[in-house]
A and B are shown apart, each in its own frame.
Chain A
Amino acid sequence: MTAFFVFCLVLIPRILPNAYWQSIFSITGVYVMLSLGLNIVAGFTGLLDLAYIAFFGIGGYTFAFLCSNHFGIHLPFLLALPVCALVAMISGFLLGLTSIRLKGDYLAIVTLAFAQIFKLLLLNLDAPVNITGGVNGIYAFDTAKIFSFKISSPENYSTWIWACALFVFVISFRLKDSRIGRGWNAIREDELAANAIGINVTRMKLFSFATGAMIAGFAGGVFASFQGSVFPNNFDFQQLVIVYCMVIIGGLGNIYGVVAGAIVLSVLPEALREYGGLRMMIYGAALVAIMALRPQGLFSGIPGFSKLMRRPDKDETGELRASTDLYYSLETDDGNRKTFTREDLPILNIQNLSLNFGGVKAIDDLDLTLHKNEILSIIGPNGAGKSTLFNVISGIYKGDKGSVTYRDHDISYFKPHEVVRLGIARTFQNLRLFNELSVLENVKISRFCRTKAFFFSILLNLKLNRKEEAETDKTVKQILNMFGKRLTGYRFDQKVKELSYANRRRVEIARAMATDPEILLLDEPSAGMNPQETIEMTDFIKELRDKFGYTILVIEHKLNLVKAVSDHVLVMDFGKKICEGSYETVSKNPDVIAAYLGKKGKK
């Protein structure tokens, strides 16, 4: 691919027949940049950003203001471009700050409104003071100079633009395979789950939005200097649609595909010039057709355009390739390993917790204490408020009354990602995995909250990033290895949606473990498992405490599991605690029998 870019930026401009094709080639470079930037926002993060083209315009007009006679400012070319990027990024950040919390289509409409306001301002801010030049735009820019080298010939412009495109391409790639890219993917797949494994969703969305705006702004500057002028029409809704078509035809999130999409859609319409009037119509129809027929883009599944999944492989002997590519295997039982038991040290305290849902008391004045290295089971009929309790502890719901304290922190008002960061991780009863991502990726995302590398460290692959990436890989594989063949080997690369129900439960537990929690909240870990698998899960939960020292709060219906693992059992019904104590005590309590198994009938 790099060779391809070098080819593009040096050779092609010099072999193209005439200035017309040279300018198309340069414009193609601008579109590659633009679509790669949009791909970060819409493809990686799944945000439908319809203000994207306005940031392109902000970049373009900033350049026009800074490098022309319009205001008489003549900033050096190489200084003006970063300023364009920065101004667009700040605008993106500010717009994002107000609207990023909105749900998908609301975000789309706010950003669309912003883009409209931007265009109206471009058109009308020529009076009473001429700021934007109105419909006539701004023209006659300074000559582009890199230090003392003038980029004036079309060939040199092409080379320069494609060098910029290469730069954006590298940024895209670095980001995609980093903690940030994984965080974005998680948000795209399932916002709530992303939040519940420690990703600050609002901040990461904002960052994505601003990064996209920055790239668009940069591309805007480059484009303005190339065209030598800027007009409102360069930045209108049609342009936005063209860029969206490029990204979608290429496949949202697929970097190679997006580059290919941008090239095809820049060159093809020129090749079919006679049909010029039909062009936008075809774009519209193509959008509809692709969404219905190939939502992954035209290039998905073609080798070289998308990372092909490692095959669910068999090795030469015909055996399923299992843990063969593991670098670390855990000693299973070496006898002198430390074992853990419940200590008399309360670490999680819930007091007088109440929560109402439209008049129904989901949790009613509940107290709970969890001790260090304890396994506490919560049982009770469906609808008793058990999962709601987990949702309160993990910060998804806020209690109406009462408090939740973890060690010295009052976490009653903590957000989900803050709770995870402190050391409480959870699984979901209905499974909220990132279904389109692989097993390995799912669990790697959990390391987000334990790593720090940010933009520059990732971009330049500094030591911090390298170290963290290696650690992430190691930790994740170690954790998956605890589940043996079920989640290792070829399964690393299998999409989660292809796993069996029981295996998906295991991935959820692995994902919770990979956030380095002290407390694990397991919501029905054995639901949907057959008796054999349930026995396995029972042993595993015990091991989680005995060998690895996790403190565990578990909701479970299968009482043999509860009996086998619990130090302490708490029974809930109608949001209330109706009884607690050892399994033996609880199981003899008549209220419990009535609540759980139902009273004996009257017959």
Chain B
Amino acid sequence: MEDIFGQLSQQAINGITIGGVYALIAIGYTMVYGVLSMLNFAHGELYMMGGFTGWWVLQFFSSKHQPVMNAAILISLMILAAMAVSAILGLVIERVAYRPLRKAPRMNLLLSSLGVSIFIQNFILYTQGAKVKVFQVSNLIPEGLRTFHVGDTVISFMRIFVIGVCFVLMLLLTFVIKKTNIGKSIRATAQDIEAAAFMGIDTDRIIVIVFLIGSALGGAAGILVSLLFTQVDYYVGFQAGLKGFTAAVLGGIGSIPGAMAGGLLLGLCEAMAVTFFPSAYKDVVAFIILIAVLIFRPQGLMGEKIREKV
């Protein structure tokens, strides 16, 4: 009995870690959906690019597989670079693949984003190969700090770090959205894009900013997970994207607090599922949750039901 309890608390920590990451990914989906009502299939690839950028930075500052730099600075550099590269890529995608289709039917936009996703994924496959890239970071962290024991539960430093970064980023975003003029403009654009233009808001610029923020957070999620599991490959974006989207739908697509809550909830559900099913089935559990939410409560847990105007 105690054994189960110990396992559960261990899984709860795992769930919060991965849930925080899902939340970061979900925010990107939900923000883009808010302003463009489109599902950005390519978002998962930005996550993957975050991981790869981190790996490139690590390679750049390593010799003979050993980092040659202060660990704190190196990790910060990896995260910042990942966010920057993903953000720039997000902007390019918006400009090239989505803006020309602003007035086209929704299906075209979806297919275009699918095309972007395939392109980036295979570009990385072609240039970087299919082999998993391993992060040699385990000895970056001083011996005594690598793991903590709370009762029977073991928590690694990386987990705490990931949770910390996720929450700092989410708090920062909440502040920007709630308090700043940019944040207000984003909310206005998401609620009624034409009325926002009537307020003198350059909605094209807001869309660009939304892609910038969403993509940067996606990139951050990518590098955090890569650091946690010390690996990345060209295919991780697809699965992570789907999870992030599930989290966004769970919370109610379009709602930023919803995306945060949805991410955490999904992470916890998955972690708990691992306690009861073989771990190969945790994704099955996640997707069944997605299907169930869409069927029974398509507006999500925190979204509002909107009556369609005729």
A and B touch in the complex (CB under 8 A): yes
In the complex the two chains form, is B101's CB within 8 Å of A281's CB? Answer: no
CB of B245 closer than 8 Å to a CB of A: yes
CB of A219 closer than 8 Å to a CB of B: no
Contact of A116 among B109, B121, B283 (CB under 8 A): B283
Q: Which residues of chain A are within 8 angstroms of B106 by Cβ–Cβ distance?
A: 104-105
Give min CB distance, B25 to chain A, whole Å. 14
In the complex the two chains form, is A287's CB within 8 Å of B126's CB? Answer: no
In the complex the two chains form, is A117's CB within 8 Å of B284's CB? Answer: yes
In the complex the two chains form, is A112's CB within 8 Å of B242's CB? Answer: yes
Give min CB distance, A601 to chain B, whole Å. 29
Contact of B110 among A48, A117, A123, A278 (CB under 8 A): A48
Counting chain A CB atoms within 10 Å of each CB, the highest count among B106, B111, B287 belongs to B111
In the complex the two chains form, is A110's CB within 8 Å of B294's CB? Answer: yes
Asked whether A109 and B116 contact (CB < 8 A) given A98-B291, A124-B281, A291-B104, the answer is no
In the complex the two chains form, is B287's CB within 8 Å of A117's CB? Answer: yes
CB of B221 closer than 8 Å to a CB of A: no
Give min CB distance, B309 to chain A, whole Å. 9
Docked CA distance A116–B243 (Å): 11
CB of B310 closer than 8 Å to a CB of A: yes
CB of A413 closer than 8 Å to a CB of B: no
Interface set, chain A 87-124, CB cutoff 8 A to B = 98-99, 102, 104-106, 108-110, 112-114, 116-117, 120-121, 123-124
Q: Which residues of chain A are within 8 angstroms of B287 by Cβ–Cβ distance?
A: 113-114, 116-117
Contact of A288 among B112, B121, B310 (CB under 8 A): B112
Give min CB distance, B73 to chain A, whole Å. 35
In the complex the two chains form, is B101's CB within 8 Å of A292's CB? Answer: yes
In the complex the two chains form, is A192's CB within 8 Å of B310's CB? Answer: yes
CB of B38 closer than 8 Å to a CB of A: yes
CB of B164 closer than 8 Å to a CB of A: no
In the complex the two chains form, is A98's CB within 8 Å of B111's CB? Answer: no
In the complex the two chains form, is A287's CB within 8 Å of B294's CB? Answer: no
Chain B, interface SS category: helix
Interface set, chain B 38-79, CB cutoff 8 A to A = 38-39
In the complex the two chains form, is B115's CB within 8 Å of A48's CB? Answer: no
In the complex the two chains form, is A120's CB within 8 Å of B280's CB? Answer: yes
Asked whether A237 and B238 contact (CB < 8 A) given A281-B119, A292-B112, the answer is yes
CB of B149 closer than 8 Å to a CB of A: no
In the complex the two chains form, is A109's CB within 8 Å of B249's CB? Answer: yes
Minimum CB distance partner of A238 in chain B: B118
In the complex the two chains form, is B284's CB within 8 Å of A357's CB? Answer: no
In the complex the two chains form, is A284's CB within 8 Å of B118's CB? Answer: yes
Interface size class of A (residues with CB under 8 A): 35 or more
Q: Which residues of chain B are within 8 angstroms of A120 by Cβ–Cβ distance?
A: 280-281, 283-284
Minimum CB distance partner of A276 in chain B: B126
In the complex the two chains form, is A288's CB within 8 Å of B245's CB? Answer: no
CB of A285 closer than 8 Å to a CB of B: yes
Give min CB distance, A235 to chain B, whole Å. 15
CB of A261 closer than 8 Å to a CB of B: no
Asked whether A281 and B39 contact (CB < 8 A) given A288-B96, A291-B112, the answer is no
In the complex the two chains form, is A241's CB within 8 Å of B118's CB? Answer: yes
Docked CA distance A278–B119 (Å): 9
In the complex the two chains form, is B281's CB within 8 Å of A105's CB? Answer: no
In the complex the two chains form, is A292's CB within 8 Å of B97's CB? Answer: yes
In the complex the two chains form, is A288's CB within 8 Å of B97's CB? Answer: yes
CB of A280 closer than 8 Å to a CB of B: yes
Docked CA distance A292–B108 (Å): 8
Give min CB distance, A279 to chain B, whole Å. 8
In the complex the two chains form, is B291's CB within 8 Å of A99's CB? Answer: yes
CB of B122 closer than 8 Å to a CB of A: yes
Q: Which residues of chain B are within 8 angstroms of A238 by Cβ–Cβ distance?
A: 118
CB of B8 closer than 8 Å to a CB of A: no
**Contact pattern, A 370-412, Cβ under 8 Å of B = 1, otherwise 0:** 0000000000000000010001000011000000000000000
In the complex the two chains form, is A108's CB within 8 Å of B119's CB? Answer: no
CB of B4 closer than 8 Å to a CB of A: no
Contact of A244 among B111, B291, B298 (CB under 8 A): B111
CB of A154 closer than 8 Å to a CB of B: no
In the complex the two chains form, is A285's CB within 8 Å of B115's CB? Answer: yes
Minimum CB distance partner of B112 in chain A: A291
CB of A286 closer than 8 Å to a CB of B: yes
CB of B172 closer than 8 Å to a CB of A: no
Q: Which residues of chain A are within 8 angstroms of B100 by Cβ–Cβ distance?
A: 292
Docked CA distance A357–B307 (Å): 9
Give min CB distance, B282 to chain A, whole Å. 10
In the complex the two chains form, is B310's CB within 8 Å of A391's CB? Answer: yes
In the complex the two chains form, is A280's CB within 8 Å of B290's CB? Answer: no
Minimum CB distance partner of B100 in chain A: A292
Interface set, chain A 257-289, CB cutoff 8 A to B = 277-278, 280-281, 283-288
Q: Which residues of chain B are within 8 angstroms of A37 by Cβ–Cβ distance?
A: none
**Contact pattern, A 206-240, Cβ under 8 Å of B = 1, otherwise 0:** 00000000000000000000000000000001100
Give min CB distance, B266 to chain A, whole Å. 13
CB of A46 closer than 8 Å to a CB of B: yes
Docked CA distance A396–B308 (Å): 10
CB of B288 closer than 8 Å to a CB of A: yes
In the complex the two chains form, is A99's CB within 8 Å of B295's CB? Answer: yes
Give min CB distance, B202 to chain A, whole Å. 23
CB of A248 closer than 8 Å to a CB of B: yes
Asked whether A280 and B101 contact (CB < 8 A) given A106-B294, A120-B280, the answer is no
Q: Which residues of chain B are within 8 angstroms of A116 by Cβ–Cβ distance?
A: 242, 283, 287
In the complex the two chains form, is B116's CB within 8 Å of A288's CB? Answer: yes
Docked CA distance A238–B114 (Å): 11
**Contact pattern, B 89-129, Cβ under 8 Å of A = 1, otherwise 0:** 00000001100110011111111101111111111011000
Docked CA distance A56–B298 (Å): 28
Can you give 30 contacting A-B residue pairs, CB < 8 Å?
Answer: A48-B111, A102-B295, A102-B298, A105-B38, A105-B106, A108-B39, A108-B110, A110-B290, A110-B295, A113-B242, A113-B246, A117-B288, A120-B283, A121-B284, A124-B278, A280-B118, A280-B122, A280-B125, A281-B119, A284-B115, A284-B117, A285-B119, A287-B112, A288-B97, A288-B112, A288-B119, A291-B108, A291-B115, A387-B310, A391-B310
Closest A-B pairs by Cβ, 6 of them: A287-B115, A284-B119, A284-B118, A113-B287, A280-B122, A288-B115
Interface residues of B (CB under 8 A from A): 38-39, 96-97, 100-101, 104-112, 114-123, 125-126, 238, 242, 245-246, 249, 278, 280-281, 283-284, 287-288, 290-291, 294-295, 298, 307, 310
